[in-house]
Amino acid sequence: MSNASSAGVHRRSLDDAPVRVVSARANLRTRLRNLWSRRELLTSLIFSDIRIKYKNSALGIFWSMLSPALTLGIYDLVFSVITKNGYPDFALYLFSGLVVWNMFQNAVNMATGVIVDRAGLVKKVSFPREILALANVGAAVVYFVIQLGVLVLFMLALGRSPAWGFIWILPISFITLYLLTASVAIVMSAVTVYLRDMKHLMEVLLQLWFWLSPVVYSYQHTIAQRLHAHGLTWMYFLNPITPIIITFQRIFYVKTNVVSTNVGHPMLNILPQWTMSTFFYMNISLLAIMVVIFLLALTLFGRLEGNFESEL
């Protein structure tokens, strides 16, 4: 074969080779502007996800209230009746943390495989792909609001009221929770396109994450004392959802010290005895960090988005 023919074959083989795109399709400012311009699509997808989840269900969206209530009842039975941890109104303490965790877990679980599940839409329609993950987060927010309403009703039934002096910190904590959830959801939705096993692995990691967070146990009583003795308290707060959970518990459970119903523990330090300013600065600092992480998540998504069509 002549040199010219050999060169022609070599060029054709290079032309036929798959090209891997590693650069983002749009810069961060453009991505944010595109998300804002498609906010109506985002809203439509949020309510579409809710309708699909409860399609052909007799109780419909009522399950979003019934399911956590049943889970709450099981945990309360185990920890208050069987193991007798001694926390008064433990169901209220537990529910205060569960509403936070449920939003985070539900959104991340739904979003992890959303791009793979909607591969047909991704390959045929042009739109900001991260909207799919954000729609799952938005649906989780709807469930969160419903469960928060259940929490308020539960408090009324117990004759308890929130810590009104701390209530203004709640919006800051919620926005922080949203940005944390959205960041993890966006990144995992993109990574799963390339590593399909991440959808199953994430379910296991979320279980571990749950038990590393102070939802079913008291941070102050079981963790803080042990870590403080070794000067390692800061390590526990590397878990970003911990300050959010503690804030919700402080606002809705209110009490930092309780008289235990367990004879062996007449007094329990159930929550950190931090001042209002401590909670504020903790939440505002975490909010600033989450804003940066959210922007980094969008940037990473843009880097990974280039090969979605070929991978799907």
Residues 133-153 have pLDDT tens digits of: 999 999 999 989 988 988 888
Q: Which of 113-122, 216-225, 239-248 has the highest mean pLDDT?
A: 239-248
For position 234, what pLDDT does the model report? Answer: 72
274 vs 293, residue with greater confidence: 293
Cα–Cα distance for residue pair 109/117, rounded to 1 Å: 13
- CB neighbours of 235 closer than 8 A, spacing ≥ 6? 227
| pTM, rounded to two decimals | 0.85
Answer yes or no: is pLDDT of 10 > 60. Answer: no
How many domains in the chain?
1
CA separation (Å) from 83 to 72, 77, 78, 80, 89? 15, 9, 6, 6, 15
- Asked if residue 29 is part of any domain, the answer here is yes
Q: What is the mean pLDDT of residues 235-256?
A: 90
| Structure token pair of residue 10 | 């070599």
Query: Residue 80's CB: how many other CB atoms inside 10 A?
Result: 18
pLDDT (tens digit per residue) in 117-132 = 888 877 777 778 889 9
User: Please, is 260 exposed, middle or buried when counting C-beta atoms within 10 Å of its C-beta (0-12, 13-18, 19+)?
Assistant: middle
pLDDT (tens digit per residue) in 34-85 = 888 888 888 888 888 777 776 766 666 677 777 777 877 787 787 777 777 7
Give 267's strand partners: 259
- Asked if residue 61 is part of any domain, the answer here is yes
- Asked if residue 108 is part of any domain, the answer here is yes
Residue-range definition of the domain harbouring residue 229: 25-311
- Asked if residue 4 is part of any domain, the answer here is no
- Asked if residue 40 is part of any domain, the answer here is yes
